[in-house]
């Protein structure tokens, strides 16, 4: 019998947010694209999977900032000197250009799971038109976002304690992990966490976009992870959203009460997911069971608009 990856229900804050924003998008992300990695399989699953793998410039810029900060910490952990500011920022900007060109030149076709494919290129959006010069303006927006975010990371006084923390006190740096809620894997990827000399656990999330309602909830979920994985007392866990471009830090102290509230939200969300869950390894299901969002405005930047007829 051929080996088959089990299609199991799992939970993450981003999965919950996708379900809340558009059930059809949730279907394509977690069901309709399942098995689409097999190029010889069902054409619609394959199409959905290729669309799922696409990114957009705001997400790409955010990922590059996260990767650069992760490398900065890894260099410190390995005993090396962090790179000079100019080299650090120039390397990240070069990454943006490389990813952009890979997408524009269609390199992603060689390895769709690994090489960047921008939805802006796929849908030939005017903002990415090199002939009119709009692409240069659009690209400069995200180059500036990277420069501003990384400069803030290096300069913000609120981050001094993090930058100078002892690598021996670090607990996580972009490590993906899971913890269990009622037998379901809950994904947690704290950007950075460390434990200070008094035993307080500090969890940081780097943000390159604008504040969202879900940001606080995300930190509360990480506090649950800290309790389960690092045996942290919930009263001694502090979360921080660092909005790098605004040079602003929002502190969250969930405590036991906040943690219980977060668990209740996870359970409610899980109940909603369970109600529509099925084994996508057995059947592709019926997308009509997952309604399209009524207000079509978010469709303009959605990867799946050609599948939804909203292109
Ligand atoms: S195109 Fe619109 S309706 Fe379709 S998945 Fe995306 S957001 Fe939902």
**Dist. CA 82–CA 205, nearest whole Å:** 20
| 185 C-alpha to ligand 1 centroid (Å) | 26
Pairing of strands 201-207, 177-181: unpaired
Beta strands in the chain (DSSP E): 10-11, 170-172, 177-181, 184-188, 192-195, 201-207, 237-243, 248-252
pLDDT value of residue 208: 95
Mean pLDDT computed over 34-39: 96
Alpha-carbon torsion, ordered 204, 206, 209, 210, to 10 deg: 20
pLDDT value of residue 12: 94
Mean pLDDT computed over 131-156: 97
pLDDT digits (tens, 9 = 90+) for 182-235: 899 999 889 999 999 999 999 999 999 999 888 999 999 999 999 998 999 999
Q: Which residues line ligand 1 (CB under 6 A)?
A: 22, 24-25, 28, 292-293, 298-299, 302, 304-305, 308, 310
pLDDT value of residue 2: 59
Query: Which residue has the least CA distance to atom 7 on ligand 1?
Result: 299
pLDDT digits (tens, 9 = 90+) for 58-86: 999 999 999 999 999 999 999 878 889 99
Kindly tell me the burial class for residue 48, based on how many C-beta atoms sit within 10 Å of its own C-beta (0-12, 13-18, 19 or more).
buried
pLDDT value of residue 167: 94
Q: What are phi and psi of 134, to 5 degrees?
A: -65, -30
pLDDT value of residue 233: 96
- Choice from 25, 123, 300, 303 to test ligand 1 binding pocket (greatest atom count within 8 A of CB): 25
pLDDT digits (tens, 9 = 90+) for 253-295: 999 999 999 999 999 999 999 999 999 999 999 999 999 999 9
**Dist. CA 61–CA 140, nearest whole Å:** 11
Contact between 118 and 37 (Cβ < 8 Å): no
Q: How many helices (H) and strands (E) does the chain have?
A: 11, 8
Q: What are phi and psi of 206, to 5 degrees?
A: -85, 130
pLDDT digits (tens, 9 = 90+) for 81-104: 888 999 999 999 999 999 999 999
Report whether pLDDT(168) > 70: yes
Report whether pLDDT(3) > 80: no
Query: Three-class SS of residue 190?
Result: coil
Q: What is the mean pLDDT of the chain?
A: 94
| 32 C-alpha to ligand 1 centroid (Å) | 13
Note the residue count of the chain: 311
Query: Which residue has the least CA distance to atom 1 on ligand 1?
Result: 305
Report whether pLDDT(1) > 60: no
- Choice from 295, 298, 309 to test ligand 1 binding pocket (greatest atom count within 8 A of CB): 298
Quick one: which atom of ligand 1 is closest to the CA of 310? 1
| 86 C-alpha to ligand 1 centroid (Å) | 40
Q: How far is CA 105 from CA 98, 277, 302, in A?
A: 10, 38, 22
Quick one: which atom of ligand 1 is closest to the CA of 27? 5
Contact between 57 and 310 (Cβ < 8 Å): no
pLDDT value of residue 310: 84
Pairing of strands 184-188, 10-11: parallel
pLDDT value of residue 173: 81
- Choice from 18, 22, 44, 301 to test ligand 1 binding pocket (greatest atom count within 8 A of CB): 22
| 294 C-alpha to ligand 1 centroid (Å) | 9
Regarding predicted confidence, which is higher, 256 or 311?
256
- pTM to 2 decimals? 0.94
CA-derived radius of gyration, the chain: 21
């Amino acid at each position: 019998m051929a080996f088959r990856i089990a299609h199991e229900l799992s939970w993450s804050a981003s999965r919950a947010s996708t379900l809340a924003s558009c059930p059809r998008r949730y279907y394509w992300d977690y069901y309709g694209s399942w098995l689409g990695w097999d190029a010889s399989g069902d054409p619609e699953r394959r199409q959905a999977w290729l669309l799922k793998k696409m990114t957009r410039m705001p997400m790409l810029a955010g990922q590059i900032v996260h990767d650069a900060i992760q490398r900065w910490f890894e260099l410190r952990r390995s005993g090396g000197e962090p790179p000079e500011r100019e080299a650090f920022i120039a390397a990240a900007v070069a990454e943006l250009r490389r990813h952009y060109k890979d997408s524009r030149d269609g390199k992603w076709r060689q390895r769709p799971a690994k090489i960047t494919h921008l939805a802006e290129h796929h849908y030939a959006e005017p903002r990415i038109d090199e002939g009119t010069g709009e692409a240069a303006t659009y690209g400069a927006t995200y180059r500036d976002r990277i420069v501003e975010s990384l400069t803030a990371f290096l300069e913000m006084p609120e981050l001094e304690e993090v930058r100078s923390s002892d690598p021996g006190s670090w607990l996580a740096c972009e490590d993906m992990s899971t913890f269990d809620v009622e037998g379901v894997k809950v994904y947690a990827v704290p950007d950075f966490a460390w434990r200070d000399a008094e035993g307080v656990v500090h969890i940081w999330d780097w943000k390159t976009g604008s504040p969202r309602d879900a940001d606080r909830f995300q930190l509360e979920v990480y506090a649950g992870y800290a309790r389960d994985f690092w045996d942290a007392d919930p009263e001694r866990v502090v979360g921080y959203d660092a909005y790098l471009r605004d040079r602003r830090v929002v502190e969250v102290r969930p405590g036991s009460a906040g943690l219980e509230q977060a668990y209740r939200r996870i359970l409610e969300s899980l109940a909603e997911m369970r109600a529509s869950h099925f084994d996508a390894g057995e059947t592709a299901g019926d997308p009509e069971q997952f309604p399209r969002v009524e207000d079509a405005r978010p469709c303009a930047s959605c990867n799946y608009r050609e599948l939804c007829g909203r292109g």
